[in-house]
Structure 1
Amino acid sequence: MPLPRPVPMPGPDQVDLRPPDHAETVVIMRGWKGALSGSTGLTELQKLLMRAISRSMTGFEVDPDGIEPLGAEGLARALARRNEIFRTRILQLILLGELVLAPPPADVYEAVGEYAAALGVDDDMREVAKHYAEGSLGLALTDFERNGYTADWDSARSAQLHAKVALTEPWQQVVDDPALAARWADLAHCPEGSLGLGVHRFYRARGFVHPGLPGSAPPYLAQHDWVHVLADYGTTLESELEVFGLIGRGIPDPRGFSLLAMVLGLFETGQLQRAAGLFEADAGHLSGEGVALRLGDAMRRGARAGVDLLGVDWFSLAELPVTQARRDLGLPDKDQLAVSAGSVGPWSQGGISPFQRGSGMKLAAAEGRPYQSYGAEL
């Protein structure tokens, strides 16, 4: 069957830039349901995501069981006054629902292609979904590297990492840079309550190795450790989903969505075995109770901030109080429903994993000091 013709983009005097109202939110969710239902209908996780994201991103919670699916052309016509970036974000919501399936059924993959064509937009993560559907997991990883947010990486993008050499690849490890390691160690001297001291304690409590030393995470990946402290997220895999939901949706470039797609492949479906130079697959965490709601809230916070948090020179903000850094970057607080659903900070019960606590205790013993978790508990 031929793909539908795209609904033209509106002109500058026709485009609608207002937030979706209740009626349009329902239309969008109907289109989401139409794209993903396939021959077997929505999964419970997809329904949870629809409820959570409709509420967090628009303020209107839509029950997918109470709406009728809407076809590709119907959705595109309903969004005729919406511009390319808005339509792309809607396609990404559809892709989000597709990428939690392991693997995506062929009929769902084909349907998503119809919605992309009718909307007149596309996203490179559709190729990842295609390879997932075909069982070509190695090709899926290649697609992340070739088509994701870091595909056009240039060594100039590594300046904020303060490594002694410009990085030629985003997830390149740096294990022989004493000056970089010293810069991270100096965070111990930041003021009480500051972002920098928080990151220092974050590393000590978990036994993390500073970038620049053997066994450390790639400096670009270490950028997200600052976000854990800034945004008040722990370090279990459920919290990693929140952090990358916030980061991926916060990046103004729509390709930032690939970072969220990456952690879904790692920590929900397990179809992505390894990524970002350090992370390894551990499936099923988005399906945990309350985690979909927490992800939706993290995406809301990222969208409100609209900042590429992986591109920030965090050392320039290290002396600031965490609350001021959060305010300066335009990051709103967590929704209380997300907190009630289990969203915890790095210094809370549930904010650390058993492995991380054990690593922190080993590091403390090796350095001849008492272990201090700074409030992080299992």
Structure 2
Amino acid sequence: MKLVVPPTEIALYQLRVLKTVAVADGKLDDLEYQMLMSMQTYIFKTNVLIDGLKLITPQELSSKIISREFCKQLIHYCILISIIGARVTRNKTRVVIEFAEALKINDCAVQTLKHLANNRLALVRFNVFRHGFIGPKVMDTLRNEGIGGMIPTLKYLMSKGDRKTAARYQKLEFYPEGSLGKELYQHLRKHGFNLPGEEGGTPEIFLVHDCVHILAEYHTSMSEEAVISAFQAGFLDKDPFWGLLFTLLQFHLGIKVLTASFTSRNEVEPESLFKALERGTHVKVNLSKNWNPWLVFERQVEDLRREYNIPPRT
């Protein structure tokens, strides 16, 4: 997905709003400052002094002519910066909602922030699941393969294996060196993950994530999991907000969005987050949608990186 860069005048208003949200508790902390600087670099393409940005009221903002697209984008960024401090506060939530009301934005993202502020975590998980990485993948599987396509995942959730599926993936061990299939096999074995179909193995529906680890050269530490989630948000063909929100909840606030996954706190570094997001926007293929790795398992990883336009990691 190509990031929509607002005109400089609009970007400056957005930065003022984001700063206003960030200081709602009294001051700008280090992570909030880093996030503003990172958004300048990778999203807004501006270079202004954060200290020199004036705060702005919802009333003043509503008097400006800003397109619906940028209004929605702004509120989504406000939600993200309101929780980058690794906690949800009443003041920041209130300010975000005031700006959302002034711009007449009351979408699922705003509702999710309200659920988060009121500790209604089941509703938060539901919204992030259906809008983020996994929900659309589930729908694609059901659409293309029917309920039968979900059987291996259901068996995983019931801690049962599937011999036929396991045998299929075990054959990847004998694929050519440097191929995606061989690299995936080695990646899963190296990190102690069972193959799809093996008891307790990775569900096939999550396998794209492991392929992205290989293609984009991200490791499996908690901080790297946070970065790869941002990278994935970048190549989606929709608003990356839900991917970024998942990242902050799962790896920064320690809120488990997916039951079959690990959580951590304070793993998100804004510079790395937005750098990975921007890198992901260069990828020509939405690997989370209708991408079948079996069609390319025999191909060399380096060739796929070039074909998909995955920039080298810097």
Q: Which residue of 1 aligns with 2:197?
A: 212
Q: Secondary structure at the match of 2:149?
A: coil
Letter in 1 for 2:28: L
Q: Please point out which of 121, 136, 150 is paired with 1:167.
A: 150
Among candidates 33, 55, 59, match of residue 69 of structure 1 = 55
Q: Identify the residue that residue 78 of structure 2 maps to in structure 1.
A: 94
Q: Which residue of 2 aligns with 1:12?
A: none
TM-superposed deviation, 1:134: 2.3
Residues 297-306 or 137-146, more deviating:
137-146
CA deviations on 1:275-309 (whole Å, 9 max, x unpaired) are 324213221111xxxx3211111110222336432
Number of matched pairs: 309
Higher helix residue share: 2
Matched-pair contact (CA < 8 Å) for 2:82–2:93: yes
- Residue of structure 2 equivalent to 1:258: 242
Identify the residue that residue 124 of structure 2 maps to in structure 1.
140
2:113 maps to what in 1?
Answer: 129
Q: Unpaired segments of 5 or more residues in structure 2?
A: none
TM-superposed deviation, 1:51: 1.0
Alignment of 1:299-318 (within 5 A): 299-305=277-283, 307-311=285-289, 312-318=291-297
Q: Residues of 2 paired with 1:61 and 1:105: CA distance?
A: 29
1:73-106 C-alpha deviation (Å, 9 max, x unpaired): 54455562x453x443332222211232443222
User: How far apart are 1:165 and its partner, in Å?
Assistant: 2.3
1:260 counterpart SS class: helix
Superposed counterparts of 1:255-334, under 5 Å: 257-270=241-254, 272=255, 274-286=256-268, 291-305=269-283, 307-311=285-289, 312-334=291-313
Would the aligned equivalents of 1:125 and 1:261 in 2 still touch at CA under 8 Å?
no
Is the alpha carbon distance of 1:305 and 1:197 closer, same or farther for their aligned partners in structure 2, counting shifts above 3 Å?
same
Measured on the aligned residues, the alpha-carbon RMSD in Å equals 3.2
Is residue 2:193 matched to residue 1:193?
Answer: no
Structure 1 residue 163 displacement after superposition: 10
Aligned residue type for 1:317:
V
Q: What is the CA–CA distance in structure 1 between the aligned matches of 2:180 and 2:101, rounded to whole Å? A: 45
Give the alignment's TM-score, normalised by structure 1.
0.70
Residue 153 of structure 1 deviates from its aligned partner by 6.8
Is the Cα contact below 8 Å between 2:155 and 2:161 reproduced in 1? no
Partner in structure 1 of residue 28 of structure 2:
42
C-alpha contact 1:124 1:147 (8 A) present in aligned 2:
no
Q: For residues 240 and 47 of structure 1, do their structure 2 counterparts lie closer, same or farther at Cα, with a shift above 3 Å needed? A: same
1:167-190 per-position Cα deviation (integer Å, ceiling 9, x unaligned): 289888364322322332232233
Task: Say if 1:153 and 1:169, in contact at 8 Å, map to a contact too.
Answer: no
Q: Percent same amino acid at aligned positions?
A: 23
Task: State the 1:204 CA deviation.
Answer: 1.9
Q: Distance in 1 between matches of 2:105 and 2:284?
A: 21
1:26 aligns with 2:12: yes
- The runs of 5 or more residues in structure 1 that have no matched partner are 1-16, 337-378
In 2 relative to 1, CA 189–128 (structure 1 residues): closer, same or farther, beyond 3 Å?
same
Query: Normalising by the residue count of structure 2, what TM-score does the alignment of the two structures yield?
Result: 0.83
| Contact persistence 2:253–2:265 (CA under 8 A) | yes
SS for the counterpart of 1:265 is helix
